[in-house]
């Protein structure tokens, strides 16, 4: 297992994953966020409408955006090269706008490398292309264990990584976010870009599961 804390199955989502407990009191950063937000509103720097607008922007972002990026990369080698060189610029080619100054690094899975994304500090996440993170991604058990024992965490999601495949864990920061480019399933050579996008789930772009030919995506 190779962990890089400052650089870099099945198809359903795991918001209620058994290994993650939701019985957790508000953390330091959550308490501070609430306090700062209320102070800024009281001082008149922001309004409830400003916050509501930003929430609406976040709500408009879904994993379908990231899935479209992945499908284009699978079908367009030139785009894939540009995406891997500059993830943000590649996404912007498809009309995906970024509402912050974060950098996006796209990590490609291969026969010899499997990538897993985490944020050990809080819940930094590629929201412009995936929307809001799942609950389990934000909780301390995942944030700690993904770095310490990533193969065990992946196994709990039903993803068994062979011993000869390297697992790379990339820790998101306030300025750098990651997106996994999963491997394209065999047997999809004649699929359209739209059909391929329908196979790509949020969890696959975090790296906890592979993309598979499931009932929903079978032709």
Q: Can you give the three-state secondary structure of 61-112, one letter per residue?
A: CCHHHHHHHHHHHHHCHHHHHHHHHCHHHHHHHCCCCCCCCCEEEEEECCCC
124 catalytic per annotation: yes
Q: What residues contact residue 99 under an 8 Å CB cut-off, 6+ apart?
A: 57, 128
Q: Which member of 3, 11, 91, 123 is catalytic?
A: 123
122 catalytic per annotation: yes
Q: Which member of 3, 11, 119, 170 is catalytic?
A: 119
Q: Torsion over CA of 185, 128, 15 and 119, rounded to 10 degrees?
A: 100
d(CA 84, CA 11): 24
Map residue 28 onto helix, strand or coil: helix
Map residue 150 onto helix, strand or coil: helix
Q: Which member of 3, 11, 124, 172 is catalytic?
A: 124
Map residue 39 onto helix, strand or coil: helix
d(CA 58, CA 208): 23
Can you say whether the dihedral through the CA atoms of 47, 124, 81, 62 is positive or negative?
negative
123 catalytic per annotation: yes
Write out the catalytic residue numbers. Answer: 119, 122-124
């Amino acid at each position: 297992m190779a962990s890089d804390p400052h650089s870099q199955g099945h198809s359903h989502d795991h918001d209620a994953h058994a290994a993650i407990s939701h019985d957790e009191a508000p953390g330091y950063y959550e308490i501070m966020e609430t306090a700062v937000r209320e102070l800024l509103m009281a001082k008149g720097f922001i309004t409830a409408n400003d916050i509501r607008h930003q929430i609406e922007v976040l709500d408009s972002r879904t994993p379908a955006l990231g899935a479209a990026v992945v499908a284009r990369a699978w079908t367009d080698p030139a785009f894939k090269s540009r995406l891997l060189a500059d993830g943000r610029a590649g996404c912007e080619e498809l009309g995906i706008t970024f509402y912050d100054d974060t950098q996006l690094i796209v990590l490609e899975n291969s026969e010899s490398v499997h990538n897993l994304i985490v944020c050990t500090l809080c819940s930094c996440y590629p929201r412009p292309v995936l929307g809001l993170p799942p609950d389990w991604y934000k909780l301390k058990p995942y944030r700690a264990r993904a770095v310490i024992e990533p193969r065990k965490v992946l196994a709990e999601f039903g993803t068994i990584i062979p011993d000869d495949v390297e697992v790379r864990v990339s820790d998101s920061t306030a300025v750098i976010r990651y997106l996994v480019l999963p491997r394209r399933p065999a047997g999809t050579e004649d699929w359209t870009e739209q059909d391929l996008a329908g196979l790509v789930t949020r969890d696959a772009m975090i790296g906890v599961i592979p993309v598979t030919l499931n009932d929903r995506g079978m032709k």
